[in-house]
Structure 1
Amino acid sequence: MGKRRRKLTPTQLRAYLATVRGGSLKAAAADLDVTEPAISLHIAHLRKELGDRLFARTASGLAFTPGGLRLASRAAELLGLQSRTILEVSQAASGRRLLRMAASSLFAEYAAPGLIELFAGRADDLDVELSVLNPQDFAAQLSSRAVDVALGPPPATLDSSLSCTPFLNYQMVAVVAAGHPLAGGRVGQAELRGQTWLLGPSAVGRLGMVPTVLRRLGVPESNQQIFQSHAAAVEEAKHGRGIALSVAFAVSKDLAAGVLAQVTGPSLPARGSWNVFTLRDRDAPPPAAELARFVTTPRATQAMLRGAGVTAGRFKPAIHVTLWS
């Protein structure tokens, strides 16, 4: 007799993945809006089918077996692939393609609008969905196929399943109102550390130029004010309420007009780069691979450097913006 084929259902995998992410059966039940016994039943079935305990409860949470960790990775990948397949079939039925793009908040605000408008405008059958993500989550979202391509700062370490290509260098500058006491001067680290810093959402997390500059200067959290957008932080700086960090091309007109003034000092200005991440070539969806090539072209660079760009509502293609925590 041949070996019995093991049967794993999407519902069971979804219950297991929710348990892994939530750290308990109770959290998984709340996440999926089902009862805790239902989650327990699905986990029991997986254990029986796979012949692996998967995890055990400990005082500090769940302790996973090597097989349990492998199942978590595969479950995320399979469920992501299932969702993508459903989406692709739906898109194909309507004669359209969908590119799910993730971007860091800084790139999404300043460079993504021009890039998406130009790239999506080249194809009448392409929709783009833009999700603003913490760059630390890029690898997990790409590996689980929740997104097709990601754009943002370079990672501390690169997952071997991902391809990373730098495509645009930029300069981060500190700006204040023209009448601010620090306007136009070079300031020491201690004085910079004591100022009020007006920041966009990219200040949250550890990856990217904004968190890097703040760490190098040793700016305490009590001196950091974070706004919903980088543009809002710069607007506060125009009213003399502190120092804002911005990509240089976004404030070049205000600097030239004398509305803002640049502050220099240790670690200022700073230089960073934006990178495009996809799954390795054979696994990347065709629109993602196409964008990864297109983003390095002079036309794409020109589109990204237009300045603040346009709002999502003014895009000609269908652009869906999703904010992910």
Structure 2
Amino acid sequence: MTPAQLRAYVAVVRLGSVKQAAAHLSVSESAVSLHIGQLRKEFGDKLFSRTVAGLAFTPGGLRLASRAAELLGLQDRTVLEVSAAGRGRRLLRVAASSLFAELAAPGLIELFAKRASDLDVELSVRDPGSFETLLLTRAADIAIGPQPSVVNPAITCRPAMNYRLVIVVGPDHPLAGVPASAAQLRSQTWLLGPSASTDLGAVQAMLRRLAVPDDRQQIFQSHAAALGEAKRGKGVAPALSFTVAPDVRTGQLLLVAGPHTTLETVWHSLVLAAGTPSAAAELSRFASTPRAIQAMMRGAGVRVGHFRPSVHVTLWS
């Protein structure tokens, strides 16, 4: 599987024909067909077939289209990064849990990036269960999120920020202003962000503590989207106390009272104990300072010149 083969395949997928792909790539149709034939042989998959309505892709063909676009994007970005490194720029790769990445990372990155004009930061959302592997394989320089249940001796784990998880509802919800029992909470529709799909983290810990059934859980593409549904009275939503404080003050959201409605926990930063890039070690120390914590709670954005999100491509069919 070569970049030339993948570029030919992606062009066919995007343009819908070998002829148009060849014209776009400025090569012959036979060259594109050869690349496609080599991919079919390597994968043992037809990938696609021609129909009256156009190209019909196999499940494997759709999967390859997604991965090929991602791999080519990574290749192009790597060329730029190597060139930038040659000019003296550094790259810090941060892996983060979805809750931290969406609600706290922007403020932290904005403040930290100001400290070094030669530093670019790449933030990618990862399952906290993969943090150890990402660090050990050097796929990430630092990981920030929930503390692993077991910390590898090769990794240094440092507390970064204490936070409180609360449960909120819209002003018209039946639990608004009413102390809720565990049984009442269990029976509600839970509006959740993507952090609920992982095994580690505060949201999953709260769901397990209350034994919320899977059929009462609705997961949205972001935590902000889940809170939007909660404002409309569609269910209950776990949220970071500092992020919903403005909506609670204005009455758009109400805190659910009761002994089971809060959870105190901590985000941790993880880096390799030896051989950690200097920028990663500095960020690990900086993340627990008062200035950094204030920035995370403010959630300021970051200038595009300092931030390069990791490439992720998904095809929906």
If the length of structure 2 is used for normalisation, what is the TM-score? 0.72
Equivalent residue number for residue 292 of structure 2: 300
Alpha-carbon spacing, 1:36–1:244, altered in 2? closer, same or farther (3 Å): closer
Alpha-carbon spacing, 1:86–1:220, altered in 2? closer, same or farther (3 Å): same
Equivalent residues in 2 for 1:112-151, closer than 5 Å: 112-151=105-144
Equivalent residues in 2 for 1:178-189, closer than 5 Å: 178-189=171-182
Residue pair 1:132, 1:324 contacting (<8 A) in 2 also: no
| CA–CA distance in structure 2, aligned partners of residues 174 and 227 of structure 1 | 16
For structure 1, the residue ranges without an aligned partner over 5 or more in a row are 1-31, 38-84
Query: In the alignment, residue 308 of structure 2 is paired with which amino acid?
Result: I
Residue pair 1:105, 1:202 contacting (<8 A) in 2 also: yes
Equivalent residues in 2 for 1:156-175, closer than 5 Å: 156-175=149-168
Query: In the alignment, residue 42 of structure 2 is paired with which amino acid?
Result: T
Alpha-carbon spacing, 1:193–1:153, altered in 2? closer, same or farther (3 Å): same
Residue pair 2:144, 2:270 contacting (<8 A) in 1 also: yes
| CA–CA distance in structure 1, aligned partners of residues 140 and 277 of structure 2 | 10
Secondary structure of residue in 2 paired with 1:175 = strand
| CA–CA distance in structure 2, aligned partners of residues 124 and 298 of structure 1 | 22
For structure 2, the residue ranges without an aligned partner over 5 or more in a row are 1-38, 45-77
Query: In the alignment, residue 309 of structure 2 is paired with which amino acid?
Result: H
Query: In the alignment, residue 319 of structure 1 is paired with which amino acid?
Result: R
| CA–CA distance in structure 2, aligned partners of residues 287 and 87 of structure 1 | 20
Equivalent residues in 2 for 1:66-215, closer than 5 Å: 90-215=83-208
Query: In the alignment, residue 137 of structure 1 is paired with which amino acid?
Result: S
Which residue among 282, 287, 292 is the counterpart of 1:290? 282
Equivalent residue number for residue 239 of structure 1: 232
Equivalent residues in 2 for 1:225-264, closer than 5 Å: 225-264=218-257
- 1:315 deviates by 4.4
How many aligned residue pairs are there? 244
Which residue among 306, 310, 316 is the counterpart of 1:317? 306
Equivalent residue number for residue 22 of structure 1: none
Equivalent residue number for residue 35 of structure 1: 42
Secondary structure of residue in 2 paired with 1:300 = helix
Identity of aligned residues (%): 52
Alpha-carbon spacing, 1:139–1:324, altered in 2? closer, same or farther (3 Å): farther
Secondary structure of residue in 1 paired with 2:148 = coil
- 1:91 deviates by 3.6
| CA–CA distance in structure 2, aligned partners of residues 163 and 115 of structure 1 | 20
| CA–CA distance in structure 2, aligned partners of residues 154 and 304 of structure 1 | 18
Alpha-carbon spacing, 1:88–1:235, altered in 2? closer, same or farther (3 Å): closer
